[in-house]
Structure 1
Amino acid sequence: MASNNLIGDDLAISEILEKPIENELIKVLKKRSNSNNFKFSIEFGSKKGANFMGNVYRILYEDENHNQSSLILKIAPKNLKRRGEFALRQMFLREIDMYDKVLVYFNEFQLSQGVDLEKDGFNEFPQYYSSISEDLFESVFLEDLRIRNFEMVNVRKETITFDHMSAVLKALGKFHAISFALKDQQPEKFKQLASLAIEQFWTQSHDMITEFEKCFEVLKEEKCFDLFEKIKKSVGDDYYSTIMCLASSQAAEPYAVICHGDVTSNNTMFSKDDEGKPNKVKIFDFQFTRYASPVIDLLLYLFCTITKELRDQHYEEFLHIYHDSLSDLLRRLGSDPQKLFPYEALLDQLQKFGVYSVFVGSLLFNQFCADEESIKKVEDSDCFVFHFSKDSKAAYNKRAMDMFVGLDRLGYI
């Protein structure tokens, strides 16, 4: 028995949960509550701007014995024009495949090699409950990480610390290690899994080109004309040809892996130890998964999220944290990291693909810095119209300059 509670200003559940989604939700709640008699309500599940490609809700439920819990429901936008422009159906099907097929097999493979998932395996993603792949009703039902005291970092108000960054890099090292091990030991199975991660996001879009050029123009605004010319030379005249090359598996081989593709502060949550320091991370939102260079997953945090000061002080240490984590799990999975992905190869991949940062940074900095009231969902007709006050434009320029200067200092552009 489900209640039809309200969300926000008299927005009824019936306005959000169309019948196929409500039916699946009832099935999930029956299983999760182990009861046929429960009630539920719904609230928004993420802060504004955190989930550009979907609508996220928190389902709060209570069984007949007054036991309470919650889960996360992510629903695809309905706007047909935007669904076509941004391949939203394909993006949701990608995420469903990741949770339902790829990550399930990653777990099975780790267990078959004697890895303790909870102790030291790759387990840094939320529990998957169910999904809907039916056209126009695409949805994913996931664990609510707040129950385990995981929280998102609001980069507008908080700073990503060394401990945050270490947790992310250790998790990514383990995540990528599984791809390398499977490529080594089960190449046909890995080929099958990698086929579920073919690039599908970067398509021609005038709006995105405008955003790229807006970001590059910051160099002129800050009187860095030589660096502007260097960036323009690095990205070329055909931005999308450059992007597709950078995001391709062919250019990354023999080191291509199944990447998350969008590892940002909006897609990570952290728990803390008894001293209040971040000690664990969970990574979610697998819509942008791609088979590409492993460094694609490192760049978004290293150059688009953390401060220049933290990066300058710990950059080499961060790379070793990532590679040590990857190497450790790779050995325990039965493969040789020195053969499959030596540290020198990591440095070469960063040199080769580092410029990818400028394209994703051009989009992320809007989300991080624009006036919050101007941030829209992808289904809105003006989703790429961002407004900046004097302060928010200054914040945008600083992030862009820190990225450009960092990439230039390391010789990535």
Structure 2
Amino acid sequence: MSQNVKQVDVLLAPVLGPYNQLVNYQMKPLHTGNEFKNPVYSLVAKVKDVDSHKEKTLNIVVKGFPVSRNPRALYDVEVSFKKEIGIYDKFVNAIHEFHEEYGISNKFDMLPLYYGSRLSLDPRANAPDENGVILLENLGASGFKAVDRTVGFDLQTIQTVLHDLAAFHAIPLAYRLHKPQKFKQALLPLLTPSESSTLRKFTANEEDSLRQQIVKSAVEGLPRCALLAPRITQALEAAQSHFKKPPPVNEQYATLIHNNLWLENVLIKFTGSKPIKSKFVDFKIATYDSLAKDLIFLLFSSVQKPVLDVHFDELIELYHKAFIQMLQRYECDVSAYTLQSLYSEIGRVIRTSEVLRLSFILKIVYAERGVPKNGGNFDLDKLAHHSEGQEYKRRLAETINFLADRDWI
């Protein structure tokens, strides 16, 4: 996307509708845009009602299509851009219709409001180009803000996030349980994996080198991890096999998952110091998979360690209770979704994929230099070879110890 968004008036026309007129607008960059991140702009539009002549302000985020191409990127940018549009538009609309059928007033409101999009200035285009944009609610203007990644979520904040995450997972799952064919035909295609083949193209030597580096970092973080080296290696080998040839999902817990849910992609609204609502952003690699992946990825990447050490089981139980309550609102049979069943699913995803993913995200969270701290479309070469600080090694080792104590690796 170029530095100047073209045809803004045309872009805003569907947002305004027939009863509003664009008076003026201002636009400024929120992110400069590089190989790691979509270019993002703040658009403040003054709009006038054609009947009453009253004016109001629309605060919109314009998310552009990244024009840089990175052959080692973790996801396909064209697929991911169209996926985000599909989720914000068709997927959310289907869920809202589902609400109406059941007379449920709560909305699928864990995402920013969607105002519209385009793939290109050419209306015939099927693929996005540098003029592709997505228009979304400016959550900052709506009172939401990010939590410092070096601080992490405290207990109250993660409790709020988990309530929203449980609904985010449960509502699409309820839709699938009630409308399996419609979900399969209309919604599942929107969740096609957008990861590139990068991980599948790793050579055996590259895979072995990556495993050795992760084990070495863990041992340097806490010497006890030397005793766990065989178990760590086994978990990493399982994850590498998982990414090279993904197995069928566990349908019981399969739903829409964010797939990159850490505190950089979660915004919080506070009343004073009390968190009251969370919103999830950046659905580039959202997919259809186990909800346990989001849950574990979020907890171990984004929650303050003392909170996790003391309240881990309490947080799992809170999520489970909210998840069950939401399914029950849609008259779903919840007999199979026991707390023990959820713990079993957590153990399964940790053993098959999440140790590797956690080693990646912790490297970003505790990055010292050379890795983008926004967790965007980084490439594996930069991620694998950047300088590792002691804080990363310590947190990696503590996470592995925690998982080993639970017999999850």
5+ residue gaps, structure 1, are 1-13
Q: CA separation in 2, counterparts of 1:358 and 1:32?
A: 52
**2:365 alignment partner in structure 1:** 368
Residue 30 of structure 2 corresponds to residue 70 of structure 1: no
**1:114 alignment partner in structure 2:** 103
1:12-411 map, 5 Å? 15-19=2-6, 22=8, 24-27=10-13, 30=16, 34-45=20-31, 52-63=36-47, 67-82=56-71, 86-117=75-106, 121-134=107-120, 135-136=128-129, 137-156=131-150, 158-192=151-185, 193-201=187-195, 203-205=197-199, 206=202, 214-222=213-221, 223=223, 224-236=225-237, 239-243=239-243, 248=247, 250-274=248-272, 276-339=273-336, 341-355=337-351, 356-371=353-368, 375=372, 378=377, 384=383, 388=387, 393-411=389-407
After superposition, the C-alpha distances for 1:315-335 in whole angstroms (9 at most, x for unaligned) are 111111111111111111111
**In the superposition, relative to structure 1, how do residues 184 and 382 fare at CA in structure 2: closer, same or farther (>3 Å)?**
closer
5+ residue gaps, structure 2, are 49-53, 121-127
Q: CA separation in 1, counterparts of 2:400 and 2:29?
A: 39
Deviation at 1:93, TM superposition (A): 1.0
Task: Could you list the structure 1 runs, at least 4 aligned residues long, displaced by more than 6 angstroms after superposition.
Answer: 379-382
**In the superposition, relative to structure 1, how do residues 409 and 31 fare at CA in structure 2: closer, same or farther (>3 Å)?**
farther
Q: CA RMSD in A?
A: 3.2
Q: Name the % identity.
A: 22
Partner amino acid, structure 2, of 1:113:
Y
Deviation at 1:80, TM superposition (A): 3.5
- Kept in 2, the 8 Å contact 1:77–1:379? The answer is no
Partner amino acid, structure 1, of 2:240:
Y
- Kept in 1, the 8 Å contact 2:92–2:108? The answer is no
**In the superposition, relative to structure 1, how do residues 191 and 317 fare at CA in structure 2: closer, same or farther (>3 Å)?**
same
**In the superposition, relative to structure 1, how do residues 384 and 33 fare at CA in structure 2: closer, same or farther (>3 Å)?**
farther
Q: CA separation in 2, counterparts of 1:184 and 1:303?
A: 30
Partner amino acid, structure 1, of 2:175:
L
Deviation at 1:60, TM superposition (A): 2.9
The worse-fitting range, judged by mean Cα deviation, of 204-213 and 348-357 is 204-213
Partner SS for 2:300: helix
Q: CA separation in 2, counterparts of 1:185 and 1:140?
A: 31
Partner amino acid, structure 2, of 1:256:
A
- Kept in 1, the 8 Å contact 2:260–2:297? The answer is yes
Q: What is the TM-score normalised by the length of structure 1?
A: 0.82
Deviation at 1:255, TM superposition (A): 2.5
Q: CA separation in 1, counterparts of 2:175 and 2:251?
A: 15
- Kept in 1, the 8 Å contact 2:73–2:379? The answer is no
Deviation at 1:194, TM superposition (A): 1.9
Q: CA separation in 2, counterparts of 1:84 and 1:204?
A: 7
Partner SS for 1:337: coil
**In the superposition, relative to structure 1, how do residues 307 and 381 fare at CA in structure 2: closer, same or farther (>3 Å)?**
closer
Partner SS for 1:35: strand
- Kept in 2, the 8 Å contact 1:261–1:290? The answer is yes
Q: CA separation in 2, counterparts of 1:53 and 1:403?
A: 28
Q: CA separation in 2, counterparts of 1:150 and 1:79?
A: 29
